[in-house]
Amino acid sequence: MTEKADGKKPVKILFVCTGNTCRSPMAQAVLKDILKREGLGGNFRISSAGLGAAAGEPMQPDAKTALGRLGVKAHAHKSRRLTAAMLKTADLIITMTLAQKQALAGGAKIFCIAELTDGRDVPDPIGQGARVYELTALELKRKLDIIYKDVLSK
């Protein structure tokens, strides 16, 4: 990875969920939007992966629609299975549930989104319809605003 003009490397944040077609790519898009709005997009590299992801799957259509309703542009996305290399190179890893964090065997840079926000996991919306995706997108936006304010902007 190339360094920024000021010589500092961007902070690498990795979102992790199960299939990498709903929550983690939605979180990726929402955080990128927040950072862009704050003029900090170049300071971070945001990515996502799934514990049980099949490689190359697109973001769920309801997830894209939910992001659009928030005014967040859904990026071109192809699912990726989480690898040891991704874990090693990330500076901060955020899972959607405590069970996902536990599956990664912890570590100082691995957090469940609940630990950084309100104590609640982000449940998987897969197969539950457009309204559940919209609620998930709103929940991610709320939680990522907290993470930006309390963790990333400091």
Q: Which residues are catalytic?
A: 17, 23, 124
Instruction: Establish how many alpha carbons lie within 13 A of residue 104's alpha carbon, considering only the half-sphere containing its beta carbon.
Output: 31
Closest CA to 143 of 108, 97, 82, 91: 97
110-112 and 92-95 beta bridge pairing: parallel
The residue to which tokens 């955020």 are assigned: 94
Q: Please tell me the distance from the alpha carbon of residue 102 to that of residue 97, in angstroms, as a whole number.
A: 9
Question: Could you give the 3-state DSSP secondary structure of residue 147?
Answer: helix
Count how many residues are written for the chain.
154
Q: Please tell me the distance from the alpha carbon of residue 46 to that of residue 90, in angstroms, as a whole number.
A: 9
